[in-house]
Amino acid sequence: MNPPAQPARRERDAPAAEPGAAVGASDTDPPALQDEMQREMQREMQRQTALLRALFDPRAACPAAAALGVDTTRLAWQAGLDAMRGNARSHAERALLAQFPTLLAMLGEAPMRALCAAYWRARPPRAGDLAGIGAEFPDYVGRLRRLRAWPWLRDSARLDWALWQLQYASAPRLDAQHLQALARHDPARLRLRLAQGVALLDARWPVVSLWQLHRGPEPDSGRLRQALGEGAQCAWAWRGAEGPRCEPLGGAERRWLRALQRGASVAAALRSAGPGWDFAAWLQRAVLEGWLDGIEPCLA
């Protein structure tokens, strides 16, 4: 006679999984199972990397297909790959047009799209997230021989990219306690921490003036010629309540902000700015615009 079967374990007797617990290997799994699951995860990462290369780098089609275990002799594979490439290129182009609006206004839509397509072929994305696709675009533009007649394009692209990145910055955390500390303590022992949503950009060309002129539908050619004669500008950019903001800096304010970026104390930054620098007026505006993240002690 067979022994009686063990009663099935009821669901309520089983320990409940913790909310948000990942499904996968655990400390109680046998070592062989853990090793196999780890190998499977590595294979999946390799497959995803191969797919990205196949989509973004035409030269990697065959190696990527082999890594994915796909029969490259089938017409369906090549047709599907071509369709996905076209879709990826279209998404990348739209991302670049959004990230570099000043260059779009300067060059016009058709030349800008052609430039985006050339960049996509020359610098295939390294990740599926296209938010960072334009990181190398300013340098790429600056190296193109056919664009040497417009040397300000690179600096304008650098400013566009800086403004684009500001939208991903965290909100400033400055509060009343920080300001009270500034009033109570020695400025030689305090430093101002700039917010993430600001950027300071030195340029050889009047990038702020060019940015402002190309925000409208049709910039005036006379004003453009005048702007190009203004010379180098240092741009101060920040994320405003209604969108990106940017203005050129004078020498004192640039020296002040560079000192703050280096982590200098308030007293040292004031010395860098030089006599006549209106710290109180700047601080009032910095608080209103959200340029500061906090005020902290330092060992200056």
- 28-56: per-residue pLDDT in tens? 567 777 778 888 887 777 776 666 666 66
**Per-residue pLDDT at 150:** 95
Helix or strand holding residue 290 (H, E): none
The DSSP code sequence of 154-206 is: HHHHHHHHHHHHHTTSPPP---HHHHHHHHHS-GGGEEEEE-TTEEEEEESS-
Cα pseudo-dihedral 117, 120, 123, 124, rounded to 10: -160
What is the tens place of the pLDDT at every residue in 65-112?
566 666 656 666 666 666 666 677 788 899 999 999 999 999 999 999
Sole residue written with tokens 């330092």: 298
Are the C-beta atoms of residues 232 and 204 closer than 8 Å to each other? yes
What is the SS3 assignment for 237? strand
**Per-residue pLDDT at 19:** 41
In whole angstroms, what is the distance from residue 190 CA to residue 5 CA? 75
* Mean pLDDT within 2-11: 44
Q: Is the model more confident about 72 or about 200?
A: 200
Give me the helix-helix angle, 61-68 and 75-99, nearest 10°.
120
Record the tokens describing residue 156, joined without a space. 């304008």
Record the tokens describing residue 6, joined without a space. 């063990």
Are the C-beta atoms of residues 290 and 239 closer than 8 Å to each other? yes
In whole angstroms, what is the distance from residue 199 CA to residue 251 CA? 16
Record the tokens describing residue 220, joined without a space. 């005036």
**Per-residue pLDDT at 48:** 67
User: What is the gyration radius of the CA atoms in the chain, in angstroms?
Assistant: 28
**DSSP letter (8 states) at residue 243:** E
Q: Which residues pair with 201 in a beta bridge?
A: 235
The distance of Cα 24 from the centroid of its chain, to the nearest Å, equals 32
Note the pTM of the prediction, 2 decimals: 0.75
Judged against a pLDDT cut of 90, whether residue 193 lies above it is answered with yes
Sheet holding 243-248, edge to edge: 198-203, 233-240, 243-248
| 102-116, 143-157, 169-183, 188-202: least confident range | 169-183
Judged against a pLDDT cut of 80, whether residue 265 lies above it is answered with yes
Please provide the average confidence, as pLDDT, over all residues in the chain.
83
Amino acid at 25: A
Judged on CB neighbours under 10 Å (0-12, 13-18, 19+), 217 is exposed
Record the tokens describing residue 31, joined without a space. 């070592």
Record the tokens describing residue 276, joined without a space. 């006549």
Are the C-beta atoms of residues 144 and 111 closer than 8 Å to each other? no
